[in-house]
Amino acid sequence: MGDVAVGARSGHDGEEHRGRPAESAVPAADSAVTSGSDSGAAEDDKVTGEHTTAEGQGPGGTARTPKKPRSFWKELPILIGIALVLALLIKTFLVQAFSIPSDSMQNTLQQGDRVLVDKLTPWFGSEPERGEVVVFHDPDNWLAGEPTADPNALQTFLSWIGLMPSAEEKDLIKRVIGVGGDTIQCVGTGPLTVNGKALDERSYVYAGNTPCSVDDQGGKFKVKVPEGYIWVMGDHRQNSRDSRYNQSDKNHGMVPVKDVVGRAVVVAWPINRWSTLPVPDTFDQSGLNAQPNAAGLPVAPQGIALLGVVPVVLWRRRKP
């Protein structure tokens, strides 16, 4: 720092640079910009302004006109079209709303309730399980004699996009009691048994109903469910035309799994009845799944899987 100060005072140094104004002007300009003086600020503004004007010009030096945004009313049909396509895809592959037309599932479901049905998991091979509430297509004219709705144009459109259930589709909703391989029996007023295990159905059977009905039309039965079929019953046992009362049809009262639309998972409407539809605890009791091993296996497949996992767990525990 001292050497620079001495050089600035030296007349000899001034002689060396005399006659070279171009070189002496460069440091002066640099000093002005660095110090933030007014002249430097003006220079900066000039450069910035020229740059902005150049960017705003279009080809040939003409001013570029900004693109006018599309009006809301022009975009509205596009948005509606996208929404309709999404609704149709959701209805077809994911979830669909269904209306409860009768009292056969009271008090779990009331007439007029709207339920959301999971249609996705069956695409991945999921099949109905005991205790689930499922929607299925009419297997063999179970709805004979039932009144048919006559929807207006708006209801037809809303049902097409999945916001309302279709009046043309003849669908029913019941609870799965037995699946392929199960033996189901009703003697007297009950209890209902599955594979010899009595079900405690007080949590979902309509108050005042008996689990089994005493009549000669199907209320007393003993059936074995074939593979690929399910046996269904309504929760309002004395007011449900279900598998019991359709044993004379081509499926002997069974519902083909292929006719199942999906599992009802949520009561979505009305708001004050919003609730989920879980599987009752009685279907989780031990021994309910006990069935003869078709291949003569000494243990269940879950036991084989457990035996395969144990060595891996022990090996991981021994690792340092």
Residues 211 and 188: beta-carbon distance below 8 Å: no
From the list 174, 213, 240, 243, the catalytic residue is 174
Q: How far apart are CA 123 and CA 86, in angstroms?
A: 18
Write out the two tokens for 291.
């069935």
Active-site residue 174, yes or no? Answer: yes
| Ramachandran angles phi, psi of 144, nearest 5° | -60, 130
In this structure, the number of other CB atoms found within 10 A of the CB of residue 168 comes to 10
Catalytic residue among 99, 104, 159, 243: 104
Sheet of 221-224, strand order: 197-198, 193-194, 183-186, 221-224
Q: How many CA atoms lie within 13 A of 157 on its CB side?
A: 4
**Closest Cα partner for 204 from 280, 267, 130?**
280
Residue 104 appears among annotated catalytic residues: yes
Residue 233 dihedral angles phi and psi, to the nearest 5°: -145, 150
Residues with catalytic roles: 104, 174
